Amino acid sequence: MDLTILIPCKNDKDNLEYVIKDIKNKYPDIKILVVFDGDNDFDAGLLNRYTRLSYIIQKKKGYGAALIDGINNITTNFFIIHNADGSFEVNKIREMYDLSKTYDFVFCDRYIDKGGSEDDTFITFFGNKVFTLMAKYLLNVDLNDVLYTHVLCNTKITKNFKLKQLDFTFCIELPYAVFKFNNKVKSLHSYEKKRISGKKNVNELKDGFLIAIYILRKSFVKFFKN
């Protein structure tokens, strides 16, 4: 597969081992790039056990910063963002990649068809619904699950977006750019598993506020440009 699995890793050292093993058991020759938040998660012994696995330490703090650094280091034609907490379906990787023959971006969706989530709380479910509606009607992002970042991306197109959001507002910036430039997009049902261990890195109130502000700011800019 002409594909890289991009894994941002912060406070998920124990979970990361399970995630890499699970991916490699199903796709032994697949390329993996891990972006570490810092040395606390780094385990050279783990990384050296596998072929076609590389890593970098992100230059700046933040979820978006990790992904942007990772994207800039990818050389395959496609990549899939895959979190290190064990919540994303590994079985979806082949299905997502097969769709890259037709689509530039494939977004997994927990809220269509046979999708679902074991990790949603009332707050995250409600917040995602609100932000999805805001993104749909204010930014023309035609997704039902806008904050779920299990997504396959065309590398060249994504690099041309020149993404800048270093925090969790990246989760809106990416799909906004995808739909702004009218790319070929497919949504695919997915089931989010409960994270293996540890706490979420998302601060629901702080990051939710930043996401809302980002959507409103972009909608104002879009309105005045029109």
- Residue 182, SS3? coil
Residue 21 has pLDDT above 70, yes or no: yes
In this prediction, residue 148 carries a pLDDT of 94
The helix (H) or strand (E) run that includes residue 138 is: helix 122-139
Residue 121 has pLDDT above 90, yes or no: no
* Spatial distance between the Cα atoms of 1 and 17, rounded to a whole number of angstroms: 22
Question: Which CATH code for domain 3-225?
Answer: 3.90.550.10
In terms of phi and psi (left: phi > 0; alpha: psi -120 to 50; beta: otherwise), the region of 108 is beta
Residue 33 has pLDDT above 90, yes or no: yes
User: Nearest CA to 36 among 18, 15, 59?
Assistant: 59
204-225 and 122-139 helices cross at what angle (nearest 10)?
A: 10
Q: 136-192 pLDDT, tens per residue?
A: 999 999 999 999 999 999 999 999 999 999 999 999 999 999 999 988 999 999 999
What's at 193, amino acid-wise? K
Write down the residue that tokens 């124990």 correspond to.
14
In this prediction, residue 53 carries a pLDDT of 93
Beta bridge partners of 36: 9, 57
90 near 135, Cβ under 8 Å? Answer: no
Q: 189-199 pLDDT, tens per residue?
A: 999 999 888 88
What pLDDT band is residue 127 in, cutting at 50, 70 and 90? confident
Residue 38 has pLDDT above 80, yes or no: no
pTM: 0.93
Strands 105-109 and 151-154: antiparallel
In this prediction, residue 124 carries a pLDDT of 82
In this prediction, residue 128 carries a pLDDT of 87
Q: 102-119 pLDDT, tens per residue?
A: 999 999 999 988 889 998
150 near 110, Cβ under 8 Å? Answer: no
Q: For the chain, give the percent of residues with pLDDT over 70.
A: 97
